[in-house]
Amino acid sequence: MVGDFGKDGAAVAFLRLAMRLALVMALAMLSACSARQIIVHSVADQLAGQGQAAEEDLELAREASAFYLKLSESVLRKAPGHLPLAEAVSGGFTQYAYAFVAADAERLESRDAKGAQRLRERAARLYLRGHQHARRALEQRRPDIFKALASADRKGWPVLEKGEVGVAYWAAAALGGYISLSKDDPDAVADLPLAVRLATIAWELDPGYGEGALASLMGAFEAARPGGTRARASEYFDQGIAAGAGANAGAFVAKAEGVALPAQDRPAFEALLRQALGAAKLRRDLQNEVMRERAQRLLESADDLF
């Protein structure tokens, strides 16, 4: 006898009961820590997708950035291996340091040298913070990556996976920013080859990353590193301009500062900055707005630079 269920009804009732018991057992085995990790990764996924690239109002972006960065950073500390969030957080700190803090230092320099220096020191700390977040994320997946990159032997450098390119880019860019503001610190300057190598292994996998941002970073490193040449730097910058289809203002500014300015070629310098202004009109977003302001400021300062 199987009661009122009948054979099929009994089977269905038993299956439902078994599923409920299995669910209860699964929930019982799910520790509070594991539950938090599920929630953390869910939040991390959401935060990683919430960029401010489309925001063109610099003041609004600045006001929102601090809260976003602190929230994202607190979540990332719980899930340090979450690559998309690590990329967003590292990029956020790096861009905040460059667009707001370091830029403020430049504007303040002529009126308050000590105040400008304090801002540069703060920007350096923010760059380093951005680098450390990206570095930890890479080390979660590849514990020996930075040990391998410490070697000058190219054969020992790791080959990245596609999903690691963005984190490696920001790790390199943030470290480069930190070094640029720490020129009196020999230990910081000694890390320039590491930054170059990080950018190189990312570039080798995805040279068009960031609509030319990575190629432009390679150009900046080529122009800055001992033994680098302006000709090779110019090739990288041109690649960045092409990857951005002429709508990446940063690539034009980078070439103006990395090639034309050191060569004291004022016509080329001003022409590139005007191209940057044109690119900023083609695509209205936060990055282009930051570079539009920088291009305008550099044009206004041309008499002092040449």
pLDDT at 42: 45
160 and 213: one domain? Answer: no
pTM: 0.81
198 and 54: one domain? Answer: yes
CATH of the domain at 103: 1.25.40.920
The verdict on residue 81 lying in a domain is yes
Give every CB contact of residue 188 below 8 A, 6+ residues apart in sequence.
178, 179, 182
pLDDT at 55: 53
Domain boundary among 156, 180, 206: 206
193 and 219: one domain? Answer: no
pLDDT at 33: 42
46 and 174: one domain? Answer: yes
The verdict on residue 194 lying in a domain is yes
Give every CB contact of residue 105 below 8 A, 6+ residues apart in sequence.
116, 117, 119, 120, 123
Among 8, 81, 1, CA closest to 48: 81
Distance of CA 257 to the CA centre of its chain: 20
Contact between 64 and 105 under an 8 Å Cβ cutoff? The reply is: no
Assigned token pair, 208? 């068009």
Q: What angle do CA 70, 74, 77 make, to 5 degrees?
A: 135
Domain boundary among 167, 186, 206: 206
164 and 216: one domain? Answer: no
pLDDT at 57: 67
Mean pLDDT by 10 residues, the chain (306 residues): 46 50 42 43 45 60 80 85 89 92 92 95 96 95 92 89 94 95 90 95 95 94 92 95 93 95 96 96 87 94 94
Domain that residue 114 falls in: 36-206
84 and 191: one domain? Answer: yes
Q: CA 166 to CA 210: how far, in whole Å?
A: 8
Interaxial angle between packed helices 192-205 and 165-180, expressed in degrees from 0 to 180 and rounded to the nearest 10: 150
pLDDT at 265: 97
Rounded to 5 degrees, φ, ψ at 220 are: -65, -40
Contact between 276 and 292 under an 8 Å Cβ cutoff? The reply is: yes
The verdict on residue 24 lying in a domain is no
Gyration radius of the chain's alpha carbons: 25
Q: CA 103 to CA 120: how far, in whole Å?
A: 9
Assigned token pair, 151? 């070697």
Half-sphere exposure in the Cβ direction for 212 (13 Å, CA): 24
Assigned token pair, 42? 């869910």
85 and 170: one domain? Answer: yes
Contact between 79 and 44 under an 8 Å Cβ cutoff? The reply is: yes
Domain boundary among 152, 176, 206: 206
Among 186, 84, 76, CA closest to 132: 76
The verdict on residue 17 lying in a domain is no
Query: CA separation (Å) from 34 to 38, 40, 76, 105, 288?
Result: 6, 10, 16, 44, 41
